[in-house]
Amino acid sequence: MAIGLPAEDRKFLQSIRQRELATRKQEAEEEAREGTTRTPTPEESRRRRSTPDFPPLPTAGQPDPLPVSTVSELIQALNEVHLWAGSPSLRELEQQDSRLRRSTVSEMLRRRESIPKYEQFMAFLQACGIEGRYLDDWVFTWRRLKALERSGPTRR
């Protein structure tokens, strides 16, 4: 309703979202059963060489940003990403991406009233190992919340 779509279009988009969520859940379950491991990209390999104690990322169970509908839920989801990535220290995250500062990451994970800046948001997700189509979902969620923030409360 926030983006002004008719009820029929909203139902259609919700059905697409539900199918996508079901597909992802099924894929994650299959990966978990097969015990497949994800091959790190060359960039990840370089980053991990500088932090040898950094645990390998799991192949399934990445936090899903699509159900997020408020800023506080987004911050909670970012904390889940941090946990999923093995809870790297703020220093390790800072070393992995020059766009991140320890104080910035700390504030981003504690703040509840405003959406993080896009560049810092992306740097944090990438430093935690979110990539590919999963990263696209996070971008979609950030843009959706930003659009809702700009439009303000809905009027009736």
pLDDT tens column, 83-114: 988 898 999 998 888 888 999 899 899 877 78
Does residue 156 fall inside a structural domain?
A: no
Does residue 103 fall inside a structural domain?
A: yes
- Who contacts 47 (Cβ-Cβ below 8 Å, separation ≥6)? 96, 127
Does residue 15 fall inside a structural domain?
A: yes
User: Rounded to two decimals, what is the model's pTM?
Assistant: 0.61
pLDDT of residue 149: 83
Does residue 118 fall inside a structural domain?
A: yes
Domain membership of residue 78 as a residue range = 7-151
Domain tally, the chain: 1
Q: In 3D, which of 92, 99, 106, 101 has the Cα closest to residue 122?
A: 99
Does residue 88 fall inside a structural domain?
A: yes
- Who contacts 68 (Cβ-Cβ below 8 Å, separation ≥6)? 74, 77, 141, 145
pLDDT of residue 1: 45
